[in-house]
């Protein structure tokens, strides 16, 4: 129970930290009144707008008000779209979440078997090949991987769309790119946690019982080696949310990341803040959920922390 | 940003897999590991050399345009010209020359960010590991908070506000790298301050600062160098990612990330413009990573576990 409380406190601190960061960023941007008004406004106009925005108040009042507004999801009206900034962001959220989810699934389906294979065939060419691939994978800038995938499958072979959104085909290249972001490290972790499990007593017992090697590895091994891998993948979900910014930009994916970048170049600050805040919250929430799940999966954790 | 320092280490069992089962003599093991360091070290040195001597090595000025020779393929491809080894970009600028000059920008920035992040991380890690208690919990909390926020989002938010510049880029990147240093140094300091010589130094009347600076820090340094080598690859990738998004290095300064974003529009016409800057990145990051892996195994096998 104390564990749960300490996680909740941590969660609250992080949320507070993120909100404060966004607030500071807002204050650093300069006078929002000047940004809203047409060129060369009169002093009166400036004063009026500042009053309307509430930025004539003391900083502390502004901070508290911002805090409350942020948690109500009120970041103001988008300069560019003319509607509530939060709804602009929320509209784009499903596309980003879908991309990150598919990428996560893909990297689990590809990287975990590779890691297990490398562990089982430790020291053989299979292991060296897979781990060599992982080492190279960690050196590849994943946005470049995306460009290369476009070049090969989109341009040279012409079999897959190079950008856009809609059908299942549109998912392949972006999600592969994003999966590539975390696959190397996932495979390495899967390998090392499998190795740790392989020479445990219960594995010997399972072998001795006469079970087939595949059953031993998959049922007895992977089940135990899987716990750290699942947690790791959960933590990576947050990284993926960050990574979507880049991948969406490359593939013209209509998600929050692309919206964020576009809003930066349009100086559409309400949307920038809403997007940053919502992505960060999603990240924090996912981490929190993974922590909880982890404790449910493995009761030992609760007493350890 | 391929998970950088948090990546689980699976140091390849290359050196440690003597098939004959019996223990290898320590000296031979050492030599074999030295040998493993050699190829990445040579590549890194070659790249540094290429960056330093870029003005001499590059056949053209990086900004020199040959408008008659736009999007020329590499010299070995059909239509290629010998004077443009890796071809030209959409303004007829020599890609090889631009890559050489790009190294002069990307590498020093990554190095500066790693050194700065290293100094901050070492200082905080030392303080946390030495004083423990509340200092430690503050530092650990700081690390925790930073790690529970997608870094690239933080970088984008900061740069969106301040506007892109080299200084901001270095500061933002160092904000990414300090946590790795702090975590490892904290653990090392925990272990080192248990030693009798540390207590002896205290007993002799050495101040906390003196003990930390004279007795602990020198022992931390090798570890910090390994951490830095392991981390700098991720920093190089991050820098290129930010520059790719238009939030890093601004033209006319050449950087590999920016090259890639310019080249994107011509991907249908000229594969070489997107391929070579990425290959350059890959080669540099890969060799730095391998160098870091090798150094880690060589200097301190324990670090492998602790840095996870």
How confident is residue B21, by pLDDT bands cut at 50, 70 and 90? very low
Contact between residue B69 and residue B62 where contact means Cβ atoms under 8 Å apart: no
Which pLDDT score is estimated for A283?
79
Chain B's closest residue to A195, CA to CA, is B10
Q: Which of B67, B85, B63 is nearest to B76 (CA)?
A: B85
Q: Is A188 on the interface with B (CB under 8 A)?
A: yes
Contact between residue A224 and residue A197 where contact means Cβ atoms under 8 Å apart: yes
- Mean pLDDT is lowest, of A108-112, A151-155, B161-165, B173-177, for B161-165
Other Cβ atoms closer than 10 A to B53: 12
Return residues 192-251 of B near A (CB < 8 Å): 233, 237, 240-241, 244-247
Q: How far apart are CA B273 and CA B257, in angstroms?
A: 12
Q: What average pLDDT does this structure show over A159-188?
A: 85
pLDDT at residue B19 above 50? no
Which pLDDT score is estimated for B116?
96
Best of B43, B148, B263 to substitute, by most chain A Cβ atoms within 10 angstroms, is B148
Which pLDDT score is estimated for A302?
57
pLDDT at residue B308 above 50? no
pLDDT in tens, A52-101: 666 667 778 878 887 888 778 788 778 778 888 889 999 999 999 899 98
pLDDT in tens, B26-71: 555 556 667 778 888 899 999 899 888 888 887 888 878 888 777 7
Q: Is A290 on the interface with B (CB under 8 A)?
A: no
What predicted TM-score, i.e. pTM, was given to this entire model?
Answer: 0.82
Q: Which of B304, B291, B306 is nearest to B47 (CA)?
A: B291
Q: Which domains does chain A have, with CATH numbers?
A: 2-70 (no CATH), 88-303 (1.10.3720.10)
pLDDT in tens, B203-242: 888 888 888 888 888 888 888 888 898 889 989 999 999 9
How confident is residue A271, by pLDDT bands cut at 50, 70 and 90? confident
ipTM: 0.80
pLDDT at residue B307 above 70? no
pLDDT at residue A236 above 50? yes
Work out the minimum CA distance from B10 to partner chain A, whole angstroms.
6
Which pLDDT score is estimated for B112?
95
Residues 6+ apart with CB under 8 A from B17: A123
Chain A hits for B154, CB-CB cut-off 8 Å, are 21
At residue A217, φ and ψ (nearest 5 deg) are -65, -45
DSSP state letters, A221-260 = IHHHHHHHHHHHHHHHHHHHHHHHHHHHHHHT--SHHHHH
pLDDT in tens, B98-130: 888 888 888 999 999 999 999 999 999 999 988
Q: Is B126 on the interface with A (CB under 8 A)?
A: no
Work out the minimum CA distance from A282 to partner chain B, whole angstroms.
10
C-alpha distances (whole Å) from B54 to each of A102, A136, B46, B96, B102 are: 43, 26, 12, 10, 9
Q: Which of B20, B14, B48 is nearest to B32 (CA)?
A: B14
Beta-bridge partners for A84 = A77
DSSP state letters, A131-186 = HHHHHHHHHS-HHHHHHHHIIIIIIIS--S-SS--SSTHHHHHHHHHHHHHHHHHH
């Amino acid at each position: 129970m104390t564990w749960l409380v300490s996680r909740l406190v941590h969660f609250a601190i992080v949320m507070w930290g993120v909100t404060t960061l966004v607030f500071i960023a807002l204050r650093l941007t300069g006078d929002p009144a000047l940004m809203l008004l047409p060129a060369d406004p009169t002093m009166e106009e400036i004063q009026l707008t500042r009053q309307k925005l509430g930025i004539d108040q003391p900083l502390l009042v502004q901070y508290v008000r911002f805090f409350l507004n942020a948690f109500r999801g009120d970041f103001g009206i988008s300069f560019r779209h003319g509607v509530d900034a939060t709804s602009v962001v929320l509209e784009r959220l499903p596309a980003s979440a879908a991309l990150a989810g598919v990428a996560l699934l893909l990297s689990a389906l590809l990287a975990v078997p590779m890691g297990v294979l490398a562990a089982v065939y430790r020291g053989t060419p299979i292991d060296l090949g897979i781990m060599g691939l992982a080492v190279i994978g960690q050196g590849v800038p994943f946005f470049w991987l995306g460009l290369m995938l476009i070049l090969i499958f989109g341009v040279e072979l012409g079999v897959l769309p190079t950008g856009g959104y809609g059908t299942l085909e549109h998912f392949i290249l972006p999600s592969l790119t994003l999966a590539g972001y975390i696959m190397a490290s996932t495979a390495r972790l899967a390998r090392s946690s499998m190795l740790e499990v392989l020479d445990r007593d219960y594995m010997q017992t399972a072998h001795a019982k006469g079970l087939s090697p595949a059953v031993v590895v998959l049922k007895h091994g992977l089940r135990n080696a899987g716990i750290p891998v699942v947690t790791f993948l959960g933590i990576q979900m947050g990284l993926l949310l960050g990574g979507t910014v880049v991948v969406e930009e490359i593939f013209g994916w209509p998600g929050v990341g692309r919206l964020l970048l576009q809003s930066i170049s349009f100086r559409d600050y309400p949307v920038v803040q809403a997007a940053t805040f919502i992505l960060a919250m999603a990240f924090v929430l996912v981490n929190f959920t993974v922590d909880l799940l982890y404790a449910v999966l493995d009761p030992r954790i609760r007493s350890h922390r | 940003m391929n998970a950088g320092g948090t990546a689980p280490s699976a140091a390849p069992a290359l050196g440690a897999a003597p098939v004959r089962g019996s223990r290898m003599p320590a000296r031979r093991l050492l030599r074999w590991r030295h040998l493993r360091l050699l190829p990445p070290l040579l590549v890194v040195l070659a790249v540094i050399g290429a960056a330093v001597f870029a003005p001499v090595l590059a056949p053209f000025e990086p900004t020199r345009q040959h408008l008659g020779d736009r999007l020329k393929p590499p010299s070995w491809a059909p239509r290629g010209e010998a004077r443009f080894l890796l071809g030209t970009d959409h303004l007829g600028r020599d890609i090889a020359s631009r890559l050489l000059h790009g190294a002069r920008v990307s590498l020093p920035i990554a190095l500066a960010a790693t050194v700065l992040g290293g100094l901050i991380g070492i200082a905080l890690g030392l303080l946390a590991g030495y004083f423990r208690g509340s200092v430690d919990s503050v530092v650990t909390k700081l690390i925790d908070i930073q790690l529970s926020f997608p870094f690239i989002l933080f970088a984008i938010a900061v740069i969106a506000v301040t506007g892109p510049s080299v200084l901001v880029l270095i500061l933002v990147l160092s904000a990414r790298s300090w946590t790795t240093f702090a975590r490892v140094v904290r653990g090392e300091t925990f272990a080192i301050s248990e030693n009798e010589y540390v207590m002896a130094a205290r007993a002799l009347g050495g101040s906390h600062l003196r003990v930390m600076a004279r007795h602990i820090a020198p022992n931390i340094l090798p570890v910090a160098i390994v951490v830095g080598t392991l981390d700098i690859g991720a920093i190089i990738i991050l820098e290129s990612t930010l520059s790719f998004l238009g939030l890093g290095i601004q033209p006319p300064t050449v950087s590999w990330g920016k090259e890639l974003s310019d080249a994107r529009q011509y991907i249908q016409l000229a594969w070489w413009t997107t391929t070579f800057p990425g290959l350059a990145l890959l080669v540099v990051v890969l060799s730095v990573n391998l160098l870091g892996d090798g150094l880690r195994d060589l200097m301190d096998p324990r670090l492998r576990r602790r840095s996870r």
